[in-house]
Amino acid sequence: MFQRPLRALSVSAPVAALALIGLLLPSVSAAQDRTAQQIKLRQSVYTVLGAQVTMMGAMASGRAPFDAASFKTAAQRAAFMASIAPDVFPAGSTAPNSKAKAELWQNSADFTALMADFGDKTAALAKAAEGGTLESVRPAFVAATRTCKACHDKYKLD
Ligand code: HEC
Q: Rounded to the nearest whole angstrom, what is the distance from the C-alpha of residue 131 to the centroid of ligand 1? A: 27
- CB of 115 closer than 6 A to ligand 1? yes
| 8-state DSSP, 106 | H
CB-CB neighbours of 75 under 10 Å: 27
Is residue 48 within 8 Å of residue 5, measured between CB atoms? no
- Please give the domain boundaries of the chain with CATH numbers for all domains: 12-155 (1.20.120.10)
Say how far apart CA 139 and CA 137 lie, in whole Å: 6
Burial 16-26 (b: 16+ CB within 10 A, else e): eeeeeeeeeee
**In the prediction, which pLDDT does 1 show?**
46
* Model confidence at 2: pLDDT above 60: no
Q: Tell me the whole-structure pTM to 2 decimals.
A: 0.87
- CB of 99 closer than 6 A to ligand 1? yes
**Model confidence over 10-43: pLDDT tens digits?**
567 776 666 666 666 767 889 899 999 999 999 9
Q: How would residue 73 be classed by pLDDT, with cut points 50, 70 and 90?
A: very high
- Residue 66 phi, psi (nearest 5): -75, 125
- CB of 54 closer than 6 A to ligand 1? no
